[in-house]
C-alpha cells in the first residue's frame, strides 16, 4: 500500500490527563493556576502534557486550588483509568459505549449533587474518545489483513464477516485513499469506493449510515478530482450533499466533519471557483477540531490564495499552518506545506530565500518515496535555478521534468513546464530550441482530449515559434493562461497585437 501510516500518538500519563481535565472543568487558564500554585506556567503545561508527570499529591493540591474537593479528583482519576482500559480492550459489537458510559453514570452518581453537569459531560467525552481509539485500533488490525486480498475478495469478506464493517474502517479507507492520491489517482479511487462500500454495509440507524456514505462520497469526489475527472468529482459531491449531515450527539462515530468541506474546496479550486473555495475553507476552519486539521485546511487555503495570485497572503497562511503540523506524524502534509512555501517564494521572485529550503524538502521526498512528488520537486529546482540565472541547470531540470510528465500522459503539466523552458530559451535567444519545443507540444495535447481554447493557445505559440516571435513575455503569459484555463473550457487566451 502506497503512503505512510500515521504514527500512533503516545498517550499522556493518567495523572497528567487528570490534571488537564480538572483545570478545564474549572475553566481556569494555565497562567492563573500557575500563579496560585507559585510555579511557572511552563511547569503546569509540562505536567498536563506528560513531559513531567505530576505526583498524586500535586494533583490533589492543584485540584484544591481549582476548587475541586478530593472526591472529585478521585472520580476523575478513576474515569481516566477507565478510559485507558477501554482503549486497551478490543473493539466489540453491541451498543456503542454502553459499558463505559454505564460506568460514567455510576461514578458520577457516587458524587451526588456536588458533581456539576459539566463534569458529567467531560467524563462522558473521555469515555467516548476511548471507544473511538479502540475502534480505530481494531480497524487498523482488520485493514492489515484485508489489504492482502484483491478488491473482489475484500468485498466478499466484508459481506461475510459482519464484525468487519465499522465506521472506523470506513474512515481508515478514506485516509488511505487520500494518501494514495498523492501518487496514484486510480488507487485513491479504489480505496474511496471501498470506504463507500463499507459504509453501506453498516448496521444501525439509516440516517447515521447515510452520514457515513456521504463522508466516504467526499473522498470518492476527491479521488476523481485528482484524476482530472472533474465532472465525475462534481457528481460525487452532489451525491455526497444528499447523504452527508453533521454529527448528532448520539452518533457512535468520531469523524471530522470539516473534512467534507475541505475536500469540496479542493474541487472548487480546480474548477476555478476560487471565492467559493475560500468560503468553504473558512467554514471548515470554524468547525474543525484543531491540531493537524487546522494545518491541513490552512495549506489548502494557501493553495487557493496562490491560484488567486495572492502570494504574500498564501505565505502568511502557510506560516500559520506550520505550528499545527507534525512532520513525523503528517509527512505528506508537511511536504506540501514546505513545497508550497518554495512555490510562492518563486512566484514573488525571492529565489534566494527559496533555495535553502530545498534540502529539507528533498529529505522529505526521499523518505516518502513519492514518485510524482519527486518530479514536482525537480520542477521547483529548475524554477529556482532559472530565477538565479543558472541557465544550463534550469534547462536540464525542465527537460527531465517535461519528459516525466509526458511519459505519464500528464499533458497539462508537460505543457506548463515546456513554457517555462521556452521562457529560458527565449531569454537566451535560442529560437531553434523554441521551435522544436513548440512542435513537440501540439501532438501531446491533441492526443489527450485537451479543450479547444487551450489547443488554440498552443497553436498560437507554435506559429509564433515558427516565425521566431516568441518572447519571454509571451511564454510567461501563455504559462499563466494555461494554469488558469486547465479546467475552464471557456477561458480564451488574448494575444497581444
CA distance 30 to 40: 9
Instruction: Give the pLDDT confidence score for residue 83 in this predicted structure.
Output: 61
Residue 121 confidence (pLDDT) above 80:
no
Return the C-alpha cell found at 379.
520542477
Residue 356 confidence (pLDDT) above 50:
yes
Residue 330 confidence (pLDDT) above 90:
no
Closest of 172, 81, 66 to residue 126, by C-alpha: 81
DSSP alpha helices (H): ranges in 28-116? 30-37, 41-49, 56-65, 70-88, 98-111
DSSP alpha helices (H): ranges in 322-451? 331-347, 351-354, 358-368, 371-387, 391-407, 411-427, 431-446
- Output phi, psi for 469, to 5 deg: -115, 10
Q: What would the pLDDT profile of 357-414 be if each residue is shown by its tens digit?
A: 999 888 888 777 667 778 888 999 999 999 999 999 999 999 999 989 888 778 778 8
- Per-residue pLDDT averaged across 87-92, rounded? 52
Return the C-alpha cell found at 188.
485513491
Buried b (16+ CB within 10 A) or exposed e, 392-415: eebbebbebbbebbbeeebbbbbb
Residue 104 confidence (pLDDT) above 90:
no
Q: Provide the sign of the torsion angle of the four alpha carbons 123, 128, 133, 138, taken in this order.
A: positive
Alpha-carbon Rg for the chain, nearest whole angstrom, is: 27
Q: How far is CA 99 from CA 40, 107, 134, in A?
A: 40, 12, 14
Number of Cβ within a 10 Å radius of residue 439: 12
Return the C-alpha cell found at 399.
527537460
Return the C-alpha cell found at 385.
535555478
Residue matched to cell numbers 459489537 = 93
Q: Which is more confident, 389 or 480?
A: 389
Contacts of 142 (CB under 8 A, 6+ apart): 164, 166, 169
Residue 113 confidence (pLDDT) above 60:
no
Contacts of 497 (CB under 8 A, 6+ apart): none
Q: What would the pLDDT profile of 21-53 be if each residue is shown by its tens digit?
A: 888 877 788 888 887 788 888 898 888 888 888
Residue 95 confidence (pLDDT) above 50:
no
Instruction: Give the pLDDT confidence score for residue 94 in this predicted structure.
Output: 42
Determine which of 52-61, 67-76, 77-86, 203-212 has the lowest per-residue pLDDT on average.
77-86
Residue 63 confidence (pLDDT) above 60:
yes
Residue 86 confidence (pLDDT) above 70:
no
Closest of 413, 479, 491 to residue 452, by C-alpha: 491
Mean pLDDT of the chain: 84
CB 254 within 8 A of CB 212: no
- What pTM was estimated for this model as a whole? 0.70
CA distance 451 to 453: 6
- Per-residue pLDDT averaged across 298-321, rounded? 95
Residue 153 confidence (pLDDT) above 80:
yes
Q: What would the pLDDT profile of 208-254 be if each residue is shown by its tens digit?
A: 999 999 999 999 999 999 988 889 999 999 999 999 988 887 778 88
Q: Select the highest-mean-pLDDT range: 264-268, 462-466, 472-476.
A: 264-268
In terms of C-beta distances under 8 Å and separation of at least 24 residues, what long-range contacts does 175-181 make, across chains too? 175/6, 176/1, 176/3, 176/143, 177/219, 177/222, 177/223, 178/219, 178/222, 179/2, 179/3, 179/4, 179/332, 180/1, 180/2, 180/3, 181/222, 181/223, 181/226
Q: What would the pLDDT profile of 162-176 be if each residue is shown by its tens digit?
A: 888 999 999 999 999
Q: What would the pLDDT profile of 123-133 be if each residue is shown by its tens digit?
A: 555 566 667 88
Split at pLDDT 50, 70, 90, the class of 178 is very high
CA distance 347 to 280: 25
Q: How far is CA 73 from CA 35, 76, 357, 442, in A?
A: 21, 5, 48, 73
Instruction: Give the pLDDT confidence score for residue 285 in this predicted structure.
Output: 93
Residue 92 confidence (pLDDT) above 90:
no
Q: Provide the sign of the torsion angle of the four alpha carbons 397, 334, 366, 143, taken in this order.
A: negative
Split at pLDDT 50, 70, 90, the class of 57 is confident
Share of the chain above pLDDT 70, in %: 85
Amino acid at each position: 500500500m502506497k503512503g505512510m501510516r500515521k504514527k500512533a500518538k503516545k498517550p499522556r500519563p493518567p495523572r497528567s490527563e487528570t490534571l488537564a481535565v480538572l483545570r478545564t472543568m474549572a475553566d481556569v487558564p494555565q497562567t492563573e493556576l500557575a500563579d496560585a500554585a507559585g510555579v511557572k506556567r511552563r511547569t503546569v503545561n509540562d505536567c498536563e502534557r506528560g513531559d513531567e508527570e505530576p505526583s498524586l499529591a500535586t494533583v490533589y493540591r492543584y485540584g484544591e486550588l481549582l476548587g475541586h474537593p478530593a472526591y472529585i479528583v478521585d472520580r476523575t482519576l478513576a474515569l481516566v483509568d477507565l478510559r485507558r482500559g477501554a482503549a486497551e480492550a478490543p473493539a466489540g459489537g453491541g451498543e456503542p459505549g454502553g459499558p463505559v458510559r454505564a460506568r460514567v453514570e455510576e461514578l458520577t452518581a457516587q458524587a451526588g449533587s456536588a458533581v456539576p453537569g459539566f463534569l458529567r459531560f467531560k467524563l462522558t467525552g473521555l469515555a467516548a474518545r476511548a471507544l473511538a481509539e479502540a475502534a480505530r485500533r481494531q480497524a487498523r488490525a482488520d485493514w492489515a489483513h484485508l489489504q492482502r486480498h484483491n478488491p473482489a475478495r475484500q468485498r466478499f469478506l466484508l459481506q461475510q464477516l459482519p464484525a468487519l464493517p465499522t465506521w472506523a474502517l470506513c474512515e481508515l479507507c478514506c485516509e488511505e485513499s487520500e494518501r494514495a492520491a498523492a501518487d496514484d489517482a486510480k488507487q485513491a479511487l479504489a480505496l474511496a469506493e471501498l470506504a463507500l462500500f463499507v459504509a453501506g454495509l453498516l448496521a444501525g440507524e439509516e440516517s447515521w449510515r447515510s452520514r457515513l456514505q456521504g463522508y466516504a462520497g467526499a473522498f470518492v469526489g476527491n479521488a476523481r478530482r485528482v484524476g482530472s475527472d472533474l465532472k465525475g468529482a462534481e457528481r460525487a459531491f452532489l451525491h455526497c450533499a444528499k447523504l452527508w449531515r453533521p454529527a448528532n450527539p448520539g452518533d457512535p462515530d468520531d469523524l471530522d466533519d470539516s473534512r467534507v468541506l475541505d475536500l469540496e474546496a479542493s474541487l472548487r479550486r480546480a474548477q476555478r471557483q476560487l471565492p467559493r473555495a475560500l468560503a468553504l475553507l473558512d467554514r471548515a476552519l470554524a468547525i474543525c477540531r484543531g491540531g493537524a486539521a487546522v494545518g491541513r485546511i490552512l495549506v489548502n487555503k494557501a493553495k487557493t490564495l496562490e491560484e488567486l495570485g495572492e502570494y504574500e497572503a498564501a505565505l502568511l497562511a502557510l506560516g500559520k499552518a506550520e505550528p499545527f503540523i507534525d512532520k513525523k506524524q503528517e509527512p505528506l502534509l508537511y511536504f506540501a506545506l514546505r513545497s508550497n512555501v518554495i512555490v510562492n517564494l518563486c512566484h514573488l521572485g525571492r529565489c534566494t530565500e527559496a533555495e535553502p529550503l530545498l534540502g529539507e524538502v528533498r529529505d522529505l521526498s526521499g523518505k516518502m518515496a513519492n514518485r510524482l512528488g519527486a518530479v514536482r520537486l525537480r520542477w521547483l529546482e529548475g524554477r529556482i535555478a532559472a530565477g538565479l540565472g543558472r541557465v544550463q541547470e534550469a534547462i536540464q531540470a525542465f527537460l527531465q521534468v517535461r519528459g516525466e510528465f509526458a511519459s505519464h500522459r500528464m499533458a497539462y503539466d508537460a505543457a506548463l513546464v515546456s513554457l517555462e523552458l521556452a521562457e529560458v530559451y527565449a531569454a537566451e535567444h535560442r529560437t531553434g530550441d523554441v521551435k522544436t519545443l513548440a512542435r513537440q507540444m501540439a501532438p501531446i495535447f491533441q492526443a489527450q482530449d485537451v479543450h479547444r481554447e487551450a489547443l488554440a493557445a498552443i497553436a498560437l505559440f507554435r506559429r509564433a515559434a515558427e516565425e521566431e516571435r516568441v518572447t519571454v513575455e509571451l511564454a510567461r503569459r501563455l504559462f499563466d493562461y494555461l494554469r488558469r484555463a486547465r479546467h475552464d473550457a471557456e477561458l480564451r487566451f488574448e494575444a497581444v497585437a
